[in-house]
Structure 1
Amino acid sequence: MPGPVTRIGITGHRQIPDAALSVVRSGIRAELLAAVSPWALSSLAAGADQVFAEIALECGAPLTAVIPGMDYETHLGDDDVRTSYRRILKCCAERVELPYERTHEEAYDAAGRYIVDRADRMIAVWDGAPSRGLGGTADIVAYARRAGVPVTVLWNPGVRRP
């Protein structure tokens, strides 16, 4: 019988400045390698979500894609981001499509909360600034903390995101 699984979720910024990227990558890798039988949860958005998903797969962690309830792929960003999304999605052990939400922000918020509700702990790629819209990183970090889910914040102090 397999041992316990540590479910690790991600929340984070879509844009990670180069000055923070190495700290973020090494921090994610360290968190995944330190976990007992890690299982990763991500919405596969640009930035933190895709970086986390790539590293989780490299570390051999099964990955659950949590797809916000909307026309998600069309709102991911440029062609490179959508191509990465499709490639990572094919490698996922599980895919969860959430019910349709009225707005994109409500869909992002629902996806973030879904991940927190199923995670044993969270990684936040976060500069500490307030969210720029409902369901942003600060909102999901606050939700996780209220729910008692431990959060590891990864960022290079003093670096500002665009």
Structure 2
Amino acid sequence: MRRLLSALAVTGCLVTGLPAVTLAQSLPGFTLFSGIEGKNQLPFRLDFGGQTNGWDRYNLRIPAKKMKLAVAQFVVNYPNYYKGTFDPKKINVLVNNKKVAVSEVKWDKEGRVIEIFPEEPVPAGTNVVLELSNVQNPAFGGTFYFNCQVLSPGDVPLLRYVGTWIINVS
């Protein structure tokens, strides 16, 4: 009886002491030697773990402190070695956790650019999530730098760099 209680106590400690394993991958975390300053790294979440050749949903976040001006267009570019696919019909913009209407999404596969046009400019100082659903992750893993630029409404069409999402697919 004493051995049974001891075994149960040790097992209970082991089970409760292990951290819960989650499928989602996210940042910010600790990144060594990325080449991107910490202030320019943007947070993100991959809802289904970022597995190679798997389907995923990318939640690319832009914190309010990065949204210094109103935004009429979001531009996301990615490296030429990223061989995943995107579904432009399944790309949404969430502003302060509320979905906003999007007038158009363009995916230039050869140019490796996704352009997202909200119907109304997104106000400055708001939290934004670019939600990319139905993403087919690349067949081979790696670290991929997704850069975000924005275009403010107005006369001068000047894209401004907001930051970089450092996404790992494994």
Higher helix share: 1
Higher strand share: 2
Rg larger in structure? 2
TM-score band (shorter)?
Answer: under 0.3
TM-score, normalized by length of structure 1?
Answer: 0.25
